[in-house]
A and B are shown apart, each in its own frame.
Chain A
Amino acid sequence: MPSVSMTVNGNAVGGDIEARTLLVDFIREHLRLTGTHVGCDTSQCGACVVHVDGTSVKSCTMLALQAEGCQVETIESLADGDTLHPMQEAFREHHGLQCGFCTPGMVMTAVAMAKENPNLTESDVRHGLEGNFCRCTGYQNIVESIIAGAKAMQG
């Protein structure tokens, strides 16, 4: 069985895995970091978005072996103890969720968006969410959350 090693949320991790192991399954099943969700498993819904070497990816459409040597950040990396990340706080404040299933992917996508462009417009956000589905909210509060969160991240 091949072995893999990478850094996840600042911690060196690794193990022997089947080559066909998806990155999301490695994160959830091997590392027991279950904040990253599997929604559609067909690279459409974005519930599984994590950051690999600073860019957002759908972890259901990447093999764990493809992340060899990479820096991976999951939703668990954001909060500092009980203090939420500004983007998480913005989602709480603006009620950017209902059932919450899509939220880990939404927040990780939002953080990537805000890092690339701190002055996000509504149009930027709506286009930036093309790879993330929410079946509850109608997106309105998610968009408001992300614009507010991006501003808060600058502060």
Chain B
Amino acid sequence: MYEFNFNRPASIADALTAIADADDGQFMAGGQTMIPVLKQRLAMPSDVVELANIDDLKGIAVDGGTVTIGAMTPHSEVHNSLEVADAIPALADLAGMIGDPHVRNRGTIGGSVANNDPAADYPAAVVGLGATVVTDRREIAGDDFFVDLFETALVEGELITAVRFPLPDKAAYMKFPNPASRYAIVGVFVSQSNGDVRVAVTGAGPCVFREVAMETALAADFSADAVAGISVSGDDFNNDIHASAEYRAHLVTVMAKRAVIKAG
């Protein structure tokens, strides 16, 4: 790891100032991806602006129609939240599948979403529930947020403050995890809200995407049988030592079926 200046602002305003003043600054949330990246010298920021002391970025708020999770809320808190489990059980369930207990105690929703790892779990929930990413300056629809491999709609110096999820009628997430890292080799999030169906796939491609053919089939008939016959093309899928593109394509259908069954 190269040396850097470490900043620990106590407010969003101070964090934005710290980033603006740095030659090449980078925000750090829980650091569960960023610290390994720094160790590998894949990033060498002049300044790390760490967000753990900013109370406005923490906590969970549930009102009639939405669950809002502060960007610096760790996965363990979402997983253990009775309010989240009551409002969107699939979201609490997903948070409990990320990494391992120690990673979940440090890793945050804001960090996961901002990083947009192709195998991360939260992007599937953001797209699969039609959530909104709230930043210091605007709101970004989940469908527009994830652009490509590790690329998001965030502009230089923009800070995620929260993610706001609408309450679905039903939803579920199933994933086939890498046995060592617990990242999704393929994960599928399905939801149904007022007849609208979303199917979001993570792990398979360069970043999360919606599987439209499955959404159409499930809108007509929300059952595992409705997606069982839909095979997806693995042409643009990830191909690595963990799984071939063809295998990932097969897993999309399998995980979609399982998620639909789990959603009930």
A residues adjacent to B (C-beta < 8 A): 2, 18-20, 22, 41-44, 46, 49, 55-58, 61-63, 65-66, 68, 109, 112-113, 128, 130-132
Q: Which residues of B contact A66 (CB under 8 A)?
A: 31, 50, 52
Q: In the complex, are the beta carbons of B101 and A63 less than 8 A apart?
A: no
Q: Return A134 CB to nearest CB of chain B, in Å.
A: 13
**Structural contact, B103 and A43, CB atoms closer than 8 A:** yes
Given A62-B35, A66-B31, A66-B52 in contact, is the A49-B102 Cβ separation under 8 Å?
A: yes
Q: Which of A22, A65, A130 contacts B182 (CB 8 A)?
A: A130
CB pair B105–A55 under 8 Å, yes or no, is yes
A65 to chain B: which residues have CB within 8 Å? 6, 8, 50
Interface centre among B2, B106, B180, B182 (most CB of A within 10 A): B106
Q: Does B150 contact A (CB under 8 A)?
A: no
**Closest CB-CB distance, A129 to chain B, in whole Å?**
8
A131, B48: Cβ atoms under 8 Å?
A: no
Name B104's closest neighbour in chain A (CB-CB).
A131
Of listed A41, A46, A131, residue having the most chain B CB within 10 A? A131
Min CB gap B60→A, angstroms: 17
Residues in A neighbouring B16, C-beta threshold 8 A: none
Q: Pick the contact of A44 from B5, B76, B106, B181 — CB < 8 Å?
A: B181
**Given known contacts A131-B99, A131-B101, A43 and B32 CB-to-CB distance under 8 angstroms:** yes
From known contacts A20-B2, A43-B36, infer whether A58 and B48 are also in contact, taking CB-CB under 8 Å.
no
Contact A57 B6 (CB under 8 A): no
B1 to chain A: closest residue by CB:
A20
Which residues on the B side are within 8 Å of A130 (C-beta)? 100-101, 182
Question: Is B105 in contact with A19, judged by CB distance below 8 angstroms?
Answer: no
12 contacts between A and B (CB under 8 A): A18-B3, A19-B3, A22-B35, A42-B39, A43-B32, A43-B35, A46-B102, A55-B105, A56-B102, A63-B31, A109-B101, A131-B102
Q: Which chain A residues border B182 with CB–CB below 8 Å?
A: 130
B147 to A: closest C-beta gap in Å: 26
Whether A109 and B102, one on each chain, are in contact in the complex, defined by CB atoms closer than 8 angstroms, is yes
Please give, as numbers and ranges, the residues of chain A lying within 8 Å of B35 by CB-CB distance: 22, 43, 61-63
Chain A residues, Cβ within 8 Å of B100: 46, 130-132
Residue of B nearest to A53 (CB): B105
Given the interface pairs A61-B31, A61-B36, the reply to whether A19 lies near B103 with Cβ below 8 Å is no
* Complexed CA–CA distance, A155 and B219 (Å): 55
Considering the complex, which residues of chain B in the window 70-127 have a beta carbon less than 8 Å from any beta carbon of chain A? 76, 99-103, 105-106
Check if B8 sits within 8 Å of A58, measured CB to CB.
no
Question: Contact: B52 with A58, CB < 8 Å?
Answer: no
**Once the chains are docked, how many angstroms separate the CA of A75 from the CA of B52?**
25
B27-59 vs A, CB cutoff 8 Å, 1 = contact: the mask equals: 000011001101100000000101010000000
Between A20, A113, A128, A132, the greatest number of chain B beta carbons within 10 A of the residue's beta carbon is seen for A20
- The winner among A18, A41, A43, A128 for most chain B CB atoms within 10 A is A43
